[in-house]
Amino acid sequence: MDGTQTPQAAMVLILLGPPGAGKGTQARRLEDRFGLVQLSTGDLLRAAVAAGTPAGREAEAVMKAGGLVSDQIVINILRDRLDGADCANGVILDGFPRTDAQATALDTLLGERGQRITAAISLEVEDQAMIRRVAGRFTCADCGEGFHEDFKQPKQSGVCDKCGSTQMTRRADDTAETAAQRLAAYHTQTAPLIAHYETAGALVRVDAMGEIDTITDALTQTVENAINA
Ligand code: ADP
Ligand code: ZN
C-alpha cells in the first residue's frame, strides 16, 4: 500500500472473566508461550497508585471499594502502554475493556494502529467460587508467583516455591467484601461485553474451573487456532 514492509499483524487477545477467574495467571503463561505482552489495567492502576500520580490518587479509593475506575483514566493509561515498543508483537489485554465505552475506545485505538482483535476469550467460572479464591490469595513480591491460603500454600510456609523469596504481598482489594463488590461490578458492567464480542464473531468460551495447566492448554489451542485462521 505505502510500499513499506507489512509486518505480520500483531495479536490482540482479550481475556474476559470475573475477579478470580485466573486472567492474570493465564496471561503470564501466554506471554511466555507466544511472545506477547500482558497489559493488565489493574496492575497499571496499582502502579499509578503506588507512584502517587494524579490518576493513581483518583483511582485509589474506587479500587479499594471494588468499583470501576473512570473510563477516561483507564483508557489513557492503556493508550500510553499500547504504544510501548515491547507491544509490537502483540498484547494480551487482562482486565480491559470492562465497560461498553472502553470496548468502543479499544476499537478506535486499534483502528488507528491498523490492528484488530484476534480473539476475546471468556474464562467461564462459577461465581460462588470466586470470592473464596480472591479472598485467600497472595503473591510473591519478587517473581509474581501466585499462592492461596486454602488451595496452594507454598511448600515451605512463607517461602516462594519458584524463587525462594520471603516477600509475599496481598492486594488491598482482596477482601471478601471488596471481592463481592468487584463481582457485582463485573456482572453489571463487564459481562455484557461477552455478547458484544460474540456478535462481532470474536468470542471464544473456555471452561476455567479446572486445573490451571488444563486451562492453559485450552487457551494455547485457542491462540493457535486464531493464528492459523
Ligand atoms: P480483578 O479482575 O481480580 O478484579 P484487576 O487487577 O483487573 O482485578 O482490577 C483491580 C481493580 O482495578 C478493579 O476492581 C477496578 O477498580 C480497577 N480496574 C482495573 N481495570 C479496570 C478497567 N478496565 N476499568 C475500570 N477499572 C479498572
Ligand atoms: Zn517468587
Ligand with minimal distance to 98 CA: 1
Instruction: Decide if pLDDT at 1 tops 90.
Output: no
186, 68 Cβ separation under 8 angstroms: no
Residue 133, ligand 1, Cβ within 6 A? no
pLDDT digits (tens, 9 = 90+) for 190-209: 999 999 999 999 999 999 99
Q: Please spell the DSSP secondary structure of 68-111, one letter per residue.
A: PPPHHHHHHHHHHHHTSGGGTTEEEEES---SHHHHHHHHHHHH
Atom of ligand 1 nearest to the CA of 186: 4
As a three-state string, the secondary structure of 151-216 is CECCCCCCCCCCCCCCCEECCCCCCHHHHHHHHHHHHHHHCHHHHHHHHCCCEEEEECCCCHHHHH
In 3D space, the residue among 203, 209, 210, 206 whose CA is nearest the CA of residue 218 turns out to be: 206
Grid coordinates of 72: 477516561
Predicted model pTM: 0.91
**pLDDT score, position 4:** 47
Q: What is the DSSP letter of 229?
A: -
Atom of ligand 1 nearest to the CA of 40: 7
Check residue 228 and give left, alpha or beta (phi > 0: left; psi -120 to 50: alpha): alpha
pLDDT digits (tens, 9 = 90+) for 39-83: 999 999 999 999 999 999 999 999 999 999 999 999 999 999 999
Residue 95 Cα, ligand 1 centroid: separation in angstroms? 6
In 3D space, the residue among 124, 116, 96 whose CA is nearest the CA of residue 17 turns out to be: 124
- 75: buried, middle or exposed (CB in 10 Å: 19+, 13-18, 0-12)? buried
Residue 138 Cα, ligand 2 centroid: separation in angstroms? 11
47, 78 Cβ separation under 8 angstroms: no
Q: What is the mean pLDDT of the chain?
A: 93
- 87: buried, middle or exposed (CB in 10 Å: 19+, 13-18, 0-12)? middle
